[in-house]
Protein backbone atom coordinates (compact mmCIF):
# COMPACT_ATOMS: atom_id res chain seq x y z
CA UNK A 1 0.00 0.00 0.00
CA UNK A 2 1.74 3.13 -1.26
CA UNK A 3 1.59 6.31 0.83
CA UNK A 4 3.26 8.62 -1.69
CA UNK A 5 0.02 9.27 -3.56
CA UNK A 6 -1.82 10.79 -0.60
CA UNK A 7 -1.97 14.61 -0.67
CA UNK A 8 0.88 14.96 1.84
CA UNK A 9 2.97 12.14 0.40
CA UNK A 10 2.15 9.95 3.40
CA UNK A 11 -0.89 7.99 4.54
CA UNK A 12 -1.77 10.00 7.67
CA UNK A 13 -4.24 12.44 6.11
CA UNK A 14 -7.20 10.19 6.89
CA UNK A 15 -6.03 9.49 10.42
CA UNK A 16 -5.93 13.22 11.10
CA UNK A 17 -9.41 13.60 9.60
CA UNK A 18 -10.80 10.85 11.84
CA UNK A 19 -9.41 12.55 14.94
CA UNK A 20 -10.58 16.04 13.98
CA UNK A 21 -14.03 15.53 12.49
CA UNK A 22 -15.80 13.87 15.47
CA UNK A 23 -14.97 16.91 17.58
CA UNK A 24 -15.88 19.28 14.77
CA UNK A 25 -19.38 17.89 14.21
CA UNK A 26 -20.12 17.67 17.96
CA UNK A 27 -19.06 21.25 18.64
CA UNK A 28 -15.93 20.41 20.64
CA UNK A 29 -13.73 22.02 17.99
CA UNK A 30 -14.64 25.35 16.41
CA UNK A 31 -12.42 26.16 13.41
CA UNK A 32 -13.26 29.85 13.73
CA UNK A 33 -11.83 30.16 17.24
CA UNK A 34 -9.68 27.10 17.92
CA UNK A 35 -6.27 26.01 16.72
CA UNK A 36 -5.65 22.31 16.10
CA UNK A 37 -2.47 20.94 17.67
CA UNK A 38 -0.91 17.87 16.06
CA UNK A 39 1.79 16.12 18.13
CA UNK A 40 3.74 13.86 15.82
CA UNK A 41 7.07 12.67 14.53
CA UNK A 42 6.30 14.17 11.15
CA UNK A 43 3.60 12.54 9.03
CA UNK A 44 0.56 12.83 11.30
CA UNK A 45 1.14 16.53 11.92
CA UNK A 46 1.45 17.08 8.17
CA UNK A 47 -1.80 15.20 7.61
CA UNK A 48 -3.48 17.30 10.29
CA UNK A 49 -2.09 20.52 8.83
CA UNK A 50 -3.48 19.53 5.43
CA UNK A 51 -6.91 18.88 6.95
CA UNK A 52 -6.75 22.27 8.68
CA UNK A 53 -5.87 23.97 5.41
CA UNK A 54 -9.03 22.51 3.87
CA UNK A 55 -11.05 23.79 6.84
CA UNK A 56 -9.38 27.19 6.78
CA UNK A 57 -8.25 26.95 10.39
CA UNK A 58 -4.86 27.20 12.04
CA UNK A 59 -2.65 24.19 12.67
CA UNK A 60 0.12 23.79 15.23
CA UNK A 61 2.60 21.02 14.46
CA UNK A 62 4.76 19.57 17.23
CA UNK A 63 7.61 17.31 16.13
CA UNK A 64 11.20 16.51 17.16
CA UNK A 65 13.87 18.84 15.85
CA UNK A 66 15.85 15.89 14.48
CA UNK A 67 13.29 14.88 11.85
CA UNK A 68 14.05 15.22 8.15
CA UNK A 69 14.30 18.69 6.66
CA UNK A 70 11.58 17.89 4.13
CA UNK A 71 8.99 17.57 6.91
CA UNK A 72 9.73 21.06 8.20
CA UNK A 73 9.82 22.56 4.69
CA UNK A 74 6.40 21.12 3.92
CA UNK A 75 4.88 22.44 7.15
CA UNK A 76 6.30 25.90 6.53
CA UNK A 77 4.88 25.93 3.02
CA UNK A 78 1.36 25.08 4.17
CA UNK A 79 1.52 27.77 6.87
CA UNK A 80 1.46 25.69 10.04
CA UNK A 81 2.91 26.93 13.29
CA UNK A 82 5.87 24.68 14.01
CA UNK A 83 7.12 23.72 17.47
CA UNK A 84 10.33 21.67 17.33
CA UNK A 85 10.98 19.68 20.49
CA UNK A 86 14.39 18.36 21.60
CA UNK A 87 15.66 15.06 20.27
CA UNK A 88 14.93 12.67 17.44
CA UNK A 89 12.31 10.12 16.46
CA UNK A 90 12.08 8.33 19.80
CA UNK A 91 11.83 11.48 21.97
CA UNK A 92 8.05 11.47 22.27
CA UNK A 93 8.06 12.25 26.01
CA UNK A 94 9.29 15.74 25.09
CA UNK A 95 6.32 16.10 22.73
CA UNK A 96 3.93 15.13 25.50
CA UNK A 97 5.54 17.67 27.83
CA UNK A 98 4.96 20.39 25.24
CA UNK A 99 1.31 19.32 24.95
CA UNK A 100 0.83 19.74 28.70
CA UNK A 101 2.40 23.18 28.50
CA UNK A 102 0.01 24.16 25.71
CA UNK A 103 -2.98 22.90 27.70
CA UNK A 104 -1.95 25.16 30.57
CA UNK A 105 -1.10 28.28 28.60
CA UNK A 106 -3.10 28.31 25.35
CA UNK A 107 -6.83 27.75 25.92
CA UNK A 108 -7.58 28.33 22.24
CA UNK A 109 -5.67 25.16 21.32
CA UNK A 110 -7.26 21.72 21.00
CA UNK A 111 -4.79 18.82 21.02
CA UNK A 112 -5.27 15.82 18.76
CA UNK A 113 -2.81 13.31 20.17
CA UNK A 114 -2.53 10.46 17.68
CA UNK A 115 -1.03 8.17 20.33
CA UNK A 116 -4.28 8.18 22.34
CA UNK A 117 -6.95 9.34 19.87
CA UNK A 118 -9.07 6.35 18.91
CA UNK A 119 -10.07 8.09 15.69
CA UNK A 120 -6.60 7.15 14.48
CA UNK A 121 -7.29 3.44 15.03
CA UNK A 122 -10.87 3.63 13.78
CA UNK A 123 -9.75 5.13 10.48
CA UNK A 124 -7.15 2.47 9.81
CA UNK A 125 -9.43 -0.34 10.98
CA UNK A 126 -12.20 0.57 8.56
CA UNK A 127 -10.39 2.31 5.69
CA UNK A 128 -6.91 0.79 5.56
CA UNK A 129 -8.17 -2.62 6.65
CA UNK A 130 -10.96 -2.75 4.09
CA UNK A 131 -8.58 -1.53 1.36
CA UNK A 132 -6.21 -4.41 2.10
CA UNK A 133 -9.09 -6.87 2.04
CA UNK A 134 -10.33 -5.52 -1.30
CA UNK A 135 -6.85 -5.81 -2.82
CA UNK A 136 -6.48 -9.35 -1.51
CA UNK A 137 -9.76 -10.30 -3.15
CA UNK A 138 -8.50 -8.88 -6.44
CA UNK A 139 -5.10 -10.57 -6.50
CA UNK A 140 -5.60 -13.81 -4.60
CA UNK A 141 -5.75 -17.08 -6.48
CA UNK A 142 -7.86 -19.97 -5.17
CA UNK A 143 -6.21 -21.33 -2.05
CA UNK A 144 -4.18 -18.20 -1.31
CA UNK A 145 -4.07 -16.99 2.29
CA UNK A 146 -3.90 -13.50 3.77
CA UNK A 147 -0.97 -14.44 5.94
CA UNK A 148 -0.01 -11.26 7.73
CA UNK A 149 -0.33 -7.53 8.22
CA UNK A 150 3.06 -6.00 8.99
CA UNK A 151 3.20 -2.47 10.40
CA UNK A 152 5.89 -0.47 12.12
CA UNK A 153 4.35 1.13 15.19
CA UNK A 154 4.66 4.83 15.77
CA UNK A 155 1.27 5.85 17.10
CA UNK A 156 -0.06 2.29 16.54
CA UNK A 157 -2.89 3.56 14.37
CA UNK A 158 -1.99 1.79 11.14
CA UNK A 159 -1.59 -1.57 12.84
CA UNK A 160 -5.33 -1.50 13.64
CA UNK A 161 -5.95 -2.50 10.02
CA UNK A 162 -4.86 -5.94 11.15
CA UNK A 163 -7.71 -6.06 13.66
CA UNK A 164 -10.14 -5.61 10.77
CA UNK A 165 -8.43 -8.26 8.67
CA UNK A 166 -8.65 -10.79 11.50
CA UNK A 167 -12.44 -10.42 11.59
CA UNK A 168 -12.52 -11.79 8.02
CA UNK A 169 -9.35 -13.89 7.96
CA UNK A 170 -8.82 -15.16 11.54
CA UNK A 171 -5.57 -16.85 10.53
CA UNK A 172 -3.96 -13.51 9.64
CA UNK A 173 -1.02 -12.62 11.87
CA UNK A 174 -0.30 -9.07 13.01
CA UNK A 175 3.36 -8.11 13.30
CA UNK A 176 4.38 -4.93 15.14
CA UNK A 177 7.73 -3.49 14.07
CA UNK A 178 10.18 -1.19 15.85
CA UNK A 179 13.82 -0.15 15.63
CA UNK A 180 16.45 -2.46 17.08
CA UNK A 181 18.07 0.61 18.62
CA UNK A 182 14.84 1.27 20.56
CA UNK A 183 13.38 -2.21 21.24
CA UNK A 184 10.59 -1.27 23.64
CA UNK A 185 8.26 -4.08 22.58
CA UNK A 186 10.99 -6.66 22.06
CA UNK A 187 12.70 -6.36 25.44
CA UNK A 188 11.59 -3.12 27.17
CA UNK A 189 14.55 -1.36 25.57
CA UNK A 190 15.07 2.29 24.74
CA UNK A 191 17.35 4.50 22.68
CA UNK A 192 17.68 6.81 19.69
CA UNK A 193 17.36 5.59 16.11
CA UNK A 194 17.02 6.74 12.51
CA UNK A 195 13.84 5.07 11.26
CA UNK A 196 11.66 8.17 11.15
CA UNK A 197 8.00 7.72 12.06
CA UNK A 198 8.24 4.63 14.30
CA UNK A 199 9.62 3.37 17.59
CA UNK A 200 8.65 6.03 20.08
CA UNK A 201 9.97 4.52 23.32
CA UNK A 202 6.57 3.61 24.77
CA UNK A 203 3.43 1.60 24.05
CA UNK A 204 0.74 3.88 22.58
CA UNK A 205 -2.60 3.99 24.36
CA UNK A 206 -4.45 2.94 21.20
CA UNK A 207 -2.34 -0.17 20.48
CA UNK A 208 -4.53 -3.25 20.85
CA UNK A 209 -1.62 -5.40 21.98
CA UNK A 210 -3.84 -8.34 22.88
CA UNK A 211 -4.40 -8.85 19.15
CA UNK A 212 -0.72 -8.58 18.17
CA UNK A 213 1.06 -11.83 17.25
CA UNK A 214 4.67 -10.85 16.61
CA UNK A 215 7.15 -8.15 17.54
CA UNK A 216 10.14 -7.55 15.30
CA UNK A 217 13.05 -5.13 15.76
CA UNK A 218 14.96 -3.90 12.69
CA UNK A 219 18.44 -2.39 12.74
CA UNK A 220 18.25 1.19 11.49
CA UNK A 221 21.57 0.65 9.70
CA UNK A 222 19.87 -2.00 7.59
CA UNK A 223 17.19 0.47 6.53
CA UNK A 224 19.71 3.22 5.75
CA UNK A 225 21.89 0.80 3.78
CA UNK A 226 18.93 -0.42 1.73
CA UNK A 227 17.84 3.17 1.18
CA UNK A 228 21.17 3.71 -0.54
CA UNK A 229 21.03 0.41 -2.41
CA UNK A 230 17.59 1.29 -3.80
CA UNK A 231 18.45 4.90 -4.71
CA UNK A 232 22.14 5.14 -5.60
CA UNK A 233 23.16 4.57 -9.26
CA UNK A 234 25.60 1.82 -8.27
CA UNK A 235 22.90 0.18 -6.20
CA UNK A 236 20.24 0.11 -8.91
CA UNK A 237 22.87 -0.99 -11.45
CA UNK A 238 23.72 -3.94 -9.24
CA UNK A 239 20.06 -4.88 -8.86
CA UNK A 240 19.57 -4.72 -12.63
CA UNK A 241 22.61 -6.94 -13.20
CA UNK A 242 21.17 -9.45 -10.73
CA UNK A 243 17.98 -9.71 -12.73
CA UNK A 244 15.64 -7.29 -11.00
CA UNK A 245 13.34 -5.91 -13.69
CA UNK A 246 13.48 -2.23 -14.59
CA UNK A 247 9.86 -1.62 -13.60
CA UNK A 248 10.52 -2.80 -10.05
CA UNK A 249 13.72 -0.77 -9.79
CA UNK A 250 11.86 2.35 -10.94
CA UNK A 251 9.39 1.89 -8.09
CA UNK A 252 11.97 1.52 -5.30
CA UNK A 253 11.91 5.29 -4.49
CA UNK A 254 8.33 4.70 -3.33
CA UNK A 255 9.88 3.25 -0.17
CA UNK A 256 10.88 5.71 2.54
CA UNK A 257 12.94 4.58 5.50
CA UNK A 258 10.08 3.13 7.56
CA UNK A 259 8.67 1.51 4.41
CA UNK A 260 11.98 -0.30 3.97
CA UNK A 261 11.67 -1.37 7.60
CA UNK A 262 8.25 -2.89 6.86
CA UNK A 263 9.63 -4.64 3.78
CA UNK A 264 12.50 -6.19 5.73
CA UNK A 265 10.10 -7.37 8.43
CA UNK A 266 7.81 -8.95 5.86
CA UNK A 267 10.74 -11.00 4.56
CA UNK A 268 11.80 -11.96 8.10
CA UNK A 269 8.27 -13.03 8.98
CA UNK A 270 7.92 -15.09 5.79
CA UNK A 271 11.14 -16.94 6.63
CA UNK A 272 10.30 -17.33 10.31
CA UNK A 273 6.89 -18.82 9.55
CA UNK A 274 8.13 -20.79 6.51
CA UNK A 275 5.46 -19.24 4.31
CA UNK A 276 4.90 -20.35 0.73
CA UNK A 277 3.79 -18.78 -2.52
CA UNK A 278 0.20 -19.19 -1.39
CA UNK A 279 0.72 -16.81 1.54
CA UNK A 280 0.31 -13.07 0.94
CA UNK A 281 1.78 -10.50 3.32
CA UNK A 282 0.62 -6.89 3.25
CA UNK A 283 2.44 -3.87 4.66
CA UNK A 284 2.16 -0.09 4.22
CA UNK A 285 4.78 1.92 2.37
CA UNK A 286 4.02 4.83 4.67
CA UNK A 287 5.95 7.47 2.76
CA UNK A 288 8.51 7.71 -0.02
CA UNK A 289 12.00 9.03 -0.68
CA UNK A 290 10.44 12.43 -1.39
CA UNK A 291 10.77 12.99 2.36
CA UNK A 292 14.33 11.70 2.67
CA UNK A 293 16.39 13.26 -0.11
CA UNK A 294 18.22 15.21 2.59
CA UNK A 295 19.03 11.98 4.44
CA UNK A 296 20.42 10.44 1.27
CA UNK A 297 22.54 13.52 0.70
CA UNK A 298 23.84 13.39 4.28
CA UNK A 299 25.00 9.84 3.70
CA UNK A 300 26.69 10.89 0.46
CA UNK A 301 28.46 13.84 2.01
CA UNK A 302 29.88 12.90 5.35
CA UNK A 303 27.87 10.26 7.14
CA UNK A 304 28.46 6.53 7.51
CA UNK A 305 26.23 3.50 7.64
CA UNK A 306 26.90 1.49 10.78
CA UNK A 307 24.78 -0.01 13.49
CA UNK A 308 24.16 -2.88 15.81
CA UNK A 309 25.14 -5.57 13.32
CA UNK A 310 27.76 -3.98 11.06
CA UNK A 311 30.75 -1.62 11.28
CA UNK A 312 30.51 1.77 9.54
CA UNK A 313 30.64 1.89 5.74
CA UNK A 314 32.37 4.65 3.74
CA UNK A 315 30.17 7.49 2.51
CA UNK A 316 31.18 6.93 -1.13
CA UNK A 317 28.82 4.40 -2.63
CA UNK A 318 30.70 1.95 -4.82
CA UNK A 319 29.81 -1.29 -6.56
CA UNK A 320 31.54 -3.15 -3.75
CA UNK A 321 29.45 -1.35 -1.14
CA UNK A 322 26.26 -2.06 -3.08
CA UNK A 323 27.15 -5.76 -3.32
CA UNK A 324 27.87 -5.89 0.40
CA UNK A 325 24.57 -4.21 1.25
CA UNK A 326 22.63 -6.51 -1.05
CA UNK A 327 24.24 -9.62 0.37
CA UNK A 328 24.17 -8.74 4.05
CA UNK A 329 21.07 -6.57 4.41
CA UNK A 330 18.70 -8.06 1.81
CA UNK A 331 19.66 -11.52 0.58
CA UNK A 332 20.80 -12.75 4.01
CA UNK A 333 17.86 -11.41 6.04
CA UNK A 334 17.56 -13.58 9.13
CA UNK A 335 14.87 -14.25 11.72
CA UNK A 336 16.73 -12.77 14.68
CA UNK A 337 15.25 -10.09 16.94
CA UNK A 338 11.74 -11.48 16.54
CA UNK A 339 9.34 -12.40 19.30
CA UNK A 340 6.23 -14.52 18.98
CA UNK A 341 3.71 -13.30 21.54
CA UNK A 342 1.73 -15.68 23.72
CA UNK A 343 -0.97 -14.34 26.02
CA UNK A 344 1.34 -13.58 28.99
CA UNK A 345 3.74 -11.73 26.69
CA UNK A 346 0.90 -9.63 25.30
CA UNK A 347 -0.31 -8.86 28.82
CA UNK A 348 3.16 -7.69 29.82
CA UNK A 349 3.23 -5.27 26.87
CA UNK A 350 -0.23 -4.07 27.78
CA UNK A 351 0.93 -3.40 31.34
CA UNK A 352 3.80 -1.25 30.04
CA UNK A 353 1.20 1.35 29.13
CA UNK A 354 0.76 2.06 32.83
CA UNK A 355 4.08 3.84 33.18
CA UNK A 356 3.41 6.30 30.37
CA UNK A 357 -0.32 6.77 30.45
CA UNK A 358 -1.36 6.38 34.08
CA UNK A 359 1.75 7.72 35.82
CA UNK A 360 2.47 10.54 33.35
CA UNK A 361 -0.50 11.33 31.11
CA UNK A 362 -3.51 11.39 33.42
CA UNK A 363 -5.20 8.11 32.53
CA UNK A 364 -6.57 5.81 35.23
CA UNK A 365 -5.80 2.19 36.03
CA UNK A 366 -9.44 1.29 35.40
CA UNK A 367 -9.23 2.79 31.92
CA UNK A 368 -6.11 0.75 31.29
CA UNK A 369 -7.82 -2.46 32.41
CA UNK A 370 -10.63 -1.77 29.94
CA UNK A 371 -8.12 -1.77 27.09
CA UNK A 372 -7.42 -5.45 27.76
CA UNK A 373 -11.05 -6.39 27.08
CA UNK A 374 -11.72 -7.40 23.42
CA UNK A 375 -15.27 -6.06 23.76
CA UNK A 376 -13.82 -2.61 24.39
CA UNK A 377 -12.15 -2.61 20.98
CA UNK A 378 -15.33 -3.79 19.28
CA UNK A 379 -17.07 -0.76 20.78
CA UNK A 380 -14.26 1.55 19.68
CA UNK A 381 -14.37 0.39 16.08
CA UNK A 382 -18.18 0.55 16.02
CA UNK A 383 -18.00 4.32 16.63
CA UNK A 384 -17.53 4.87 12.91
CA UNK A 385 -21.25 4.38 12.26
CA UNK A 386 -22.14 6.99 14.87
CA UNK A 387 -19.61 9.44 13.47
CA UNK A 388 -20.95 8.94 9.94
CA UNK A 389 -24.47 9.81 11.09
CA UNK A 390 -23.19 12.86 12.95
CA UNK A 391 -21.25 14.01 9.89
CA UNK A 392 -24.31 13.63 7.67
CA UNK A 393 -26.47 15.57 10.14
CA UNK A 394 -23.81 18.28 10.44
CA UNK A 395 -23.53 18.63 6.67
CA UNK A 396 -27.30 18.86 6.35
CA UNK A 397 -27.39 21.69 8.89
CA UNK A 398 -24.60 23.54 7.10
CA UNK A 399 -26.30 23.18 3.71
CA UNK A 400 -29.64 24.36 5.10
CA UNK A 401 -28.06 27.55 6.41
pLDDT digits (tens, 9 = 90+) for 232-263: 999 999 999 999 999 999 999 999 999 999 99
Are the CB atoms for 185 and 154 separated by under 8 Å?
Answer: no
- Residue 373 within a domain: no
Domains identified in the chain, total number: 2
- Residue 161 within a domain: yes
Q: Given this model, what pLDDT does residue 306 score? A: 47
Is residue 98 domain-shared with residue 152, that is, in the same domain? no
pTM of the model: 0.95
Domain extent for 64: 13-114
Are the CB atoms for 261 and 223 separated by under 8 Å?
Answer: yes
Residues 6+ apart with CB under 8 A from 380: 118, 121, 122
**Residue range 166-178: average pLDDT?**
98
Is residue 207 domain-shared with residue 271, that is, in the same domain? yes
Q: Where does the pLDDT of residue 180 fall: very low under 50, low under 70, confident under 90, or very high at 90 and above?
A: very high
Write out pLDDT tens, residues 99-147. 999 999 999 999 999 999 999 999 999 999 999 999 999 999 999 999 9
- The domain that contains 37 carries what CATH number? 3.40.50.1100
Write out pLDDT tens, residues 320-378. 999 999 999 999 999 999 999 999 999 999 999 999 999 999 999 999 999 999 999 99
Is residue 88 domain-shared with residue 154, that is, in the same domain? no
Question: Taking Cα atoms as reference points, which of 150, 160, 153, 156 lies closest to residue 128?
Answer: 160
Is residue 319 domain-shared with residue 189, that is, in the same domain? yes
Are the CB atoms for 254 and 232 separated by under 8 Å?
Answer: no
Write out pLDDT tens, residues 149-170. 999 999 999 999 999 999 999 9
Q: Given this model, what pLDDT does residue 308 score? A: 47
Looking at every residue in the chain, the average pLDDT score rounds to: 95
Is residue 316 domain-shared with residue 202, that is, in the same domain? yes
- Residue 353 within a domain: no
Q: Where does the pLDDT of residue 282 fall: very low under 50, low under 70, confident under 90, or very high at 90 and above?
A: very high
- Residue 295 within a domain: yes
| Residue 311 pLDDT exceeds 60 | no
Amino acid sequence: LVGKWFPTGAHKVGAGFACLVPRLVTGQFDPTTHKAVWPSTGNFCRGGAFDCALLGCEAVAILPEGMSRERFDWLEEIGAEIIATPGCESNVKEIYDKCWEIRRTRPDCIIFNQFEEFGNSVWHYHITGSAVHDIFDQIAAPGDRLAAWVSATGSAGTIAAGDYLKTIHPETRIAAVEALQCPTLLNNGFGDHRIEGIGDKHVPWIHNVRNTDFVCAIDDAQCIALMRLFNEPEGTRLLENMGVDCETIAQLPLLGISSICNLVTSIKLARHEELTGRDIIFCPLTDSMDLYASRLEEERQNQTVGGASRPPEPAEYTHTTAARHFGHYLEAITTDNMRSLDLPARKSLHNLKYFTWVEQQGRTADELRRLWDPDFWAEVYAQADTWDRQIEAFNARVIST
